């Protein structure tokens, strides 16, 4: 048994005591922050002006901080689109050659439309060419970075959004079936077209629209490589007129926390809330704790724009807005691009459909759960893929030799 459970049990007990003290301390600090929230509740324009002067990423209020918006009536007919992805990184110890795999789950569920089909599938792609395995600076071919770890995460994120844009465009195509189908006797196609036209569609991704994998590399060819493609997929969704939203379960976002820290300059000694303390009262807290406590089930906050020196220059008209919503079990964060945020009907549609999806999915959007099911790469899948690769290498006469480290792990010696 590799774990010393006796020693761990003592540490777990100590950790439990620490967590209990931390929880009580967080509650006390939230009570202190209520006064700051009350003071700035209707001074949101002052906060918005302040946000434009802050260098770090912050939330920009677009209305009163205590705004609470109930959902519209859930639409009886709509189409939910979602994608999620998983990847297998190149294995430098396996001896099967350098390659990676990206698996994207694609889901289309037409609710209240029995005449239409459900789409549940996954699309897998291998990366094995030099162009796949390395990111090359177009201005200096000597600069190249392996496609692995966070870079592969970035590529998977782009592929998820690309698949979502594909689904959205095909959904629009279903709405635009030509009228001459009726004269040619294709009654089924006409019924499908009529159903699609009367049912709105929404596109969902898990996590965030704030493509932040490469935030630490400003003005770098890597950032341009991934951000440009990511924003292009958002533009495809905009042209398809399908609202897109990113759903973050149990959000830990701190954009509003950063804004309030800017109010006092992050200087506890001169902060009225901290009352001369040596630590900021907002340490360790997040936006959901700050604003979500007064939300009734299914209600959302007002909209906040995310002001970011990293994202804004690339995103343009796709700058990210967010709101928090109470699902009954947790406070979730929902991000939408600017072109959705500026259309009140689209925001209301996103809110209403998410409420219906969370009700159907026991607290989490059902269509996203189905996309995750299709994206997951099981251990069995990995074994099958490894077997296929080994068989093909043998057929080609290529000897696959694992590293000494991997070989050593497979043999027990003293």
DSSP SS3 for 154:
helix
- Span 60-67, average pLDDT: 94
Give how far the C-alpha of residue 376 lies from the chain's centroid of Cα atoms, to the nearest Å: 16
201-206 and 78-88 as β-strands: parallel, antiparallel, unpaired? parallel
CA–CA gap between residue 163 and residue 252 (Å, rounded): 27
Percent of the chain with pLDDT over 90: 54
The pLDDT of 242-265, averaged and rounded, is 91
pLDDT at 154: 92
The pLDDT, as a whole number, for residue 405 is 60
Whole-angstrom distance, CA of residue 165 vs CA of residue 235: 9
Alpha-helix runs per DSSP H in 128-213 = 130-133, 150-175, 180-183, 187-198
pLDDT of residue 180: 39
Phi, psi of 60 (to 5 degrees): -105, 115
Look at residue 187 in the predicted model and tell me its pLDDT: 54
Burial of 148 (0-12, 13-18, 19+ CB in 10 A): middle
How is residue 269 annotated by DSSP?
Answer: G
Q: How far apart are CA 324 and CA 74, in angstroms?
A: 18
* 226 Cβ neighbours under 8 A, 6+ residues apart: 151, 154, 155, 157, 158, 211, 213, 214
In this structure, of 136-140, 206-210, 261-265, the range with the lowest mean pLDDT score is: 261-265
pLDDT average, residue stretch 121-127: 95
pLDDT in tens, 74-105: 999 999 999 999 999 887 555 566 899 999 99
Q: How many whole angstroms from its chain centre is CA 374?
A: 17
Give residue for tokens 């004269």: 183
> Which residues 6+ apart lie within 8 Å of 48 measured at CB?
60, 61, 62
The pLDDT of residue 40: 85
128 or 97, which is more confident? Answer: 128
Task: Check residues 269 and 257 and name the one with the higher pLDDT.
Answer: 257
123 vs 4 pLDDT, higher one: 123
The reported pLDDT for the residue numbered 25 is 80
CA-nearest of 363, 358, 364, 370 to 74 is 358
Task: Enter the DSSP assignment of 330.
Answer: -
139-195 pLDDT, tens digit per residue, is: 888 888 888 888 899 999 999 999 999 999 999 987 776 333 544 555 555 555 554
Please state the domain extents for the chain: 26-377
Task: Return the pLDDT at 188.
Answer: 55
Going by C-beta distance under 8 Å and a sequence separation of 6 or more, which residues neighbour residue 138? 221
Which backbone phi and psi does 337 adopt, to 5 degrees?
-75, 165
* Range scoring the smallest mean pLDDT among 11-15, 233-237, 407-411: 407-411
CA atoms within 13 A on the CB side of 100: 21
* pLDDT tens-digit readout, 269-306: 667 677 656 677 788 889 999 899 889 999 999 999 99
- Answer yes or no: are the C-beta atoms of 84 and 247 closer than 8 Å: no
Confidence band (pLDDT; 50, 70, 90) for 125? very high
Residues in Cβ contact with 376 at an 8 Å cutoff, skipping those fewer than 6 apart: 86, 105
Global pTM reads 0.88
The average confidence (pLDDT) of the chain is 86
Res 197: pLDDT: 57
């Amino acid at each position: 048994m590799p774990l010393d459970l006796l020693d761990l049990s003592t540490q777990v007990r100590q950790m439990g005591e620490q967590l209990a003290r931390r929880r009580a301390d967080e509650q006390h600090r939230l009570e202190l922050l209520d006064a700051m929230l009350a003071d700035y509740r209707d001074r949101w324009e002052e906060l918005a002006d302040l946000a434009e002067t802050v260098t770090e990423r912050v939330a920009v209020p677009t209305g009163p901080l205590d705004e609470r918006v109930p959902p519209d009536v859930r639409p009886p007919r709509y189409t939910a689109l979602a994608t999620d992805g998983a990847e297998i990184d190149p294995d430098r110890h396996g001896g099967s050659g350098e390659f990676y795999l990206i698996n994207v789950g694609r889901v289309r569920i037409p609710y209240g439309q029995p005449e239409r089909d459900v789409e549940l599938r996954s699309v897998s792609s291998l990366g094995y060419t030099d162009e796949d395995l390395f990111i090359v600076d177009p201005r200096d071919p000597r600069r190249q970075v392996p496609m692995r770890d966070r870079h592969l995460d970035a590529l998977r994120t782009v592929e998820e959004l690309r698949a979502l844009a594909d689904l959205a465009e095909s959904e629009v195509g279903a709405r635009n079936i030509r009228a001459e189908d009726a004269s040619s006797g294709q009654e089924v196609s006409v019924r499908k077209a009529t159903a699609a036209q009367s049912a709105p569609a929404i596109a969902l991704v898990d996590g965030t629209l704030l493509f932040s994998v490469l935030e630490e590399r400003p003005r770098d060819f890597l950032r341009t490589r991934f951000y440009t493609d990511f924003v292009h997929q958002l533009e495809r969704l905009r042209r398809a007129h399908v609202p897109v939203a990113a759903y973050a379960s149990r959000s830990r976002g701190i954009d509003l926390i950063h804004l309030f820290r800017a109010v006092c300059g992050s200087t506890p000694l001169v902060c009225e809330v901290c009352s001369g303390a040596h630590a900021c009262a907002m340490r360790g807290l997040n936006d959901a704790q700050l604003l979500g406590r007064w939300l009734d089930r299914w209600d959302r906050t007002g909209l906040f724009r995310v002001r970011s020196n990293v994202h804004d220059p690339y995103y343009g008209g796709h700058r990210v807005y967010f709101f928090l919503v109470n699902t009954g079990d947790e406070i979730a964060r929902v991000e939408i691009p600017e072109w959705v945020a500026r259309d009140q009907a689209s925001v209301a549609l996103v809110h209403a459909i998410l409420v219906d999806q969370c009700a159907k999915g026991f607290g989490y959007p059902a269509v996203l759960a189905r996309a995750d099911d299709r994206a997951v790469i099981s251990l069995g899948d990995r074994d099958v893929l490894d077997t296929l690769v080994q068989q093909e290498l043998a057929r080609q006469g290529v000897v696959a030799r694992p590293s000494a480290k991997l070989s050593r792990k497979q043999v027990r010696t003293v």
